Amino acid sequence: MIEARGLSKNCQGSTSVRNVTFTVAPGEVVGILGPQGAGKTTLLRMLAGIVVPSSGESVVAGLSTGVDPFRIKNRVGYVTGDASLPPQPTPRELLKQRGQLHHIQAQELASRVEALITAFELERLADQPVATMTAEQRQRFHLARALLHDPPALILDEPTHSLDMLSGHFVLMAIRAARDAGKAVLLATRSLSDAEYLCDRVLLMNQGQVVDQGTLSEVCAHVGARTFAEAVLRQLQLRSA
């Protein structure tokens, strides 16, 4: 489970996230939608134990990031769309290095690495420098690496950003498979179609606050909208007025 309990973050005299509370259950995908600057990335970083909240608490799989931020890293797979990679190592080498950091035994690690290389269709690229990979191939690799230690929770920041339709669909299917395997999945996205395809529930954020949340049909009903896109636009325009 992923849980935010009154999370807030003050940055340079302003509040970038304000009193956010919600949960993500095992086997559920929850999406966070909102315009640029809404606070989505800051919220995800607090939940992943990367950013310390100004107030409130984040809990992942029973561990509080405020009490035990280092052990949180073993409970969560975190992916961001702008993550950089060292140019020379190969995907296979980087996966092995990540597994060693998580203290996975050598035989089990070798098995997991090969399974992920196959599942994410990285066989042809596995022993080539990562500098030769396309944006789509890198994003597949980032997801594979996040899953290597079999975390109960995934936190994904714009996982299909800059990907074309086919590449993005592959990533979406991988996220669905993670949900079906019982993982709690939280993702930030600006894509309404991704949210409609993936999410069991959504949170709409604007100016650091959650302005609405629920299933897609509930969010539509809250403002009397016929479509999810219409509901999102109405809520964001209402809160920006």
Write out pLDDT tens, residues 8-21.
Answer: 999 876 669 999 99
Which tokens sit at 235? 């809520």
pLDDT over 60 at 106, yes or no: yes
Position 72 scores a pLDDT of: 82
pLDDT at 100: 95
* pLDDT, position 71: 80
pLDDT confidence tier of residue 241, bands split at 50, 70 and 90: low
Q: Would you kindly state where each structural domain of the chain is located, as residue ranges? A: 2-87+151-240
- If DSSP codes are grouped into helix, strand and coil, which group holds residue 168? helix
Q: What is the pLDDT of residue 127?
A: 96
Q: Pairing state of beta strands 2-11 and 55-60?
A: antiparallel
Tokens standing for residue 32 = 């966070």
Q: Give pLDDT, residue 239.
A: 62
Q: Between 237 and 151, where is the model more confident?
A: 151
> Does domain 2-87+151-240 correspond to CATH entry 3.40.50.1460?
no
For the cut 80, the answer to whether the pLDDT of residue 158 exceeds it is yes
Dump pLDDT digits (tens) for 200-223. Answer: 999 999 999 999 999 999 999 999
- According to the 3-state scheme, what is the secondary structure of 84-135? CCCCCCCHHHHHHHHHHHCCCCHHHHHHHHHHHHHHCCCCCCCCCCHHHCCH
pTM comes to 0.92
Q: Which pLDDT score is estimated for 67?
A: 77
46-74 pLDDT, tens per residue?
A: 999 888 899 999 999 888 887 777 788 88
